[in-house]
Chain A
Amino acid sequence: MATPIIDASHIVKDYGRVRALHGVSLEVGAGEFVALVGPSGCGKTTLLKILAGFEDITEGRLEIEGKDMRGVPAASRPTRMVFQKLALFPHKTVAQNIGFPLKLQKFDRAEIDRRVVAMLELMHLNPDYLDRFPAQLSGGEQQRVALARALVSHPGVLLLDEPMSALDAKLKKSLQAELKKLHRELGTSFVLVTHDLEEAMMLADKICVMRAGRMVQIGTPTDIYYRPANMFVAGFIGETNFLPVDVSGTLEGGLTVGSPLVAGQPVVMESGNVSEFLGEGNKALLIRPESIGFLAGEPGPGQWMLTGVVEEYFIKGSSTQYRVRVAGLDAPVVMDLPGSFELPAQVGEEVRIGFEPMRAFLLSE
């Protein structure tokens, strides 16, 4: 990768006695779409505000476009922000809102008008809206105006602070698609803060999962999904299953994994199916709901079997989800089966379920 457009290293941020960020590092390449993901209070918004220049840094170093940002106010940074609640100026018209950054850069009226109209077209906004006030637009339209205002002056980096969290699901989907298209067309670097890992996976080239002021994992969507650093990251996207396991051996010499809860022989994990962040604590196999199925008889070679009772099922159309209570596991095992006309098991029925441990992923807490 060429010189990153954002290079944040070991950022520490204290609010009084509370440490919000514990030495976080982040690189954003030119034209890259990066998502910062994590639960509320993980520090993702704080990091975004630090990038924007709304918060200063307690320790660490931030460079944007190769320049140290220490003491550089928000107004002088090449970043533009789309706020969670949009922060459109209620007393300015749509045209005035979008044109505001250009007006500050002292463009002449004609140029501002030209660019505002171009922006309106890019955002598929009705040109009649120019003289309306934000309160007269729908939520989705306001969203587009906010995006237009942020993009109109061609910023080096666009920062998005959960801009779609307030929208209904359908509108969200269409705006997500547009955002991705916009990113591809403009080639601007985007940094998106979201608590929705699915959204991050849909949109971002690179996902940074944060927890309690620390980076837990940085990687591509596939990395995050298939090779999560730990159970926290793995559990962050949708529902999944963790099977506690006993591990012996070394990574080099092969890790042997077994569990007293299952019927089946211990297996040696391939290094590709072992988290690179594997630590000392409790370990578990990550088994995605789609890789578990019902067993008619005994488990085959390389298969592990669990027995349990069907607690509930949900017919989702293309798939059917089963929840099976297994003695010794805290949570029911979740399985996604391909949808079928006849249900393979009823609630309360005792069932056998099986999976291939070699195709599961070994990680620690």
Chain B
Amino acid sequence: MKKGTAEMNKLANDMNRRSVLKGMGGMGLAAAGAAFLGMPRGAQAAESLNYMCWEGYNAPSILDPFQAANDATIAIDLITDSAGGFAKLAAGASRDFDLVSSDSPWIQRMGPAGFCRFLDDADFAEQYADFYPQFAAPFGPLQFEGKATGLPTRWGWVGPTVNTKFDTLEAWSSYAPVFDSAYKDKICLLDWGDWPIMPLALYAGVNPYEELDEAALGEVRKVLRAAFKNTRAIVGDLAIAQKGLLDGSFRALIGGGTYCTSSLRLKGHDYIQSIVPEPKDGLKQGIIWMEATGLIDNGRNSAIAADFLKYIVSPEVAKQLAITEATCNLVPNSKAEALFSEEEKKALQMDYMWTAWENSQFHTVAPNIDDMLAIWQEELAAR
């Protein structure tokens, strides 16, 4: 999942106006020798780990106990973009990292791409035993030719985010309002890479997770063009998106779901819900997103890194990972469920989660994603 607030802050820090042009030159350097990215820091402790992760995984309440118990230090490199993180590792930074937490399709690819260690499910039998049956080993979404890369760590669904003060849930049983002139200037597309494209493609009857031909890409183009007509803003920042959802200026955040709404629900805005639309012509319209954590293959074969992997999916830690300052998300560990309060369970829409699961596609890297992103760029420019 794209992480709004974290993304914006990181981007703003890394790539504000003053540095964006320089940065581009710098990226050229990075391509040639990315070796000095993520240099190990702070070597006082017995072992230091370099951890590339999304927001939430870096919470001190998660890292500190582990560091103390294992006499290790963990240096964090926050990702702002799953694909970007993958590319960074691919460019050579994998030599300097030990752990990575990213969107599951990217983790899944890191094994076959040669910079993540494949896991033996038997080593993690104890962990899998605690997971909901849906995540039981062998867990397909993280496997490649029968070999697993990483363990699932957080999940949720992508679908209409409905503010029931303004709309009924029924109105959003499909994405039709996105194209309804009554919703002109009331739609928010999340500026999170492929995420806003996927549900719109599904609405157009195209399964974006399959290989697409010219005709299918043409449908994607049409649906994006139509969606842009009613779009008020393409927002990268989670806080702005949430604010608009609350005050009704955005009637739905396309490309988002529980990631956007759960934290609002926990703060008492329980009239806001994420749902998945009804299947359309046999095509499931919802999308399950999942994050996973993998062990980077840097030749050191760190045992502490493997311990961290077990640690991060353990019930107590999973519960902390679920409820962070910025967002609230589901976790695969069923034992964690008992640790949530009633409010937290309500906020996470736990009563709805398996309904959503049933009606959703599992998010992977779409084979034609670059074509679709190019179409997105073109249609946006033509707007």
Are A and B in direct contact (Cβ within 8 Å)? no
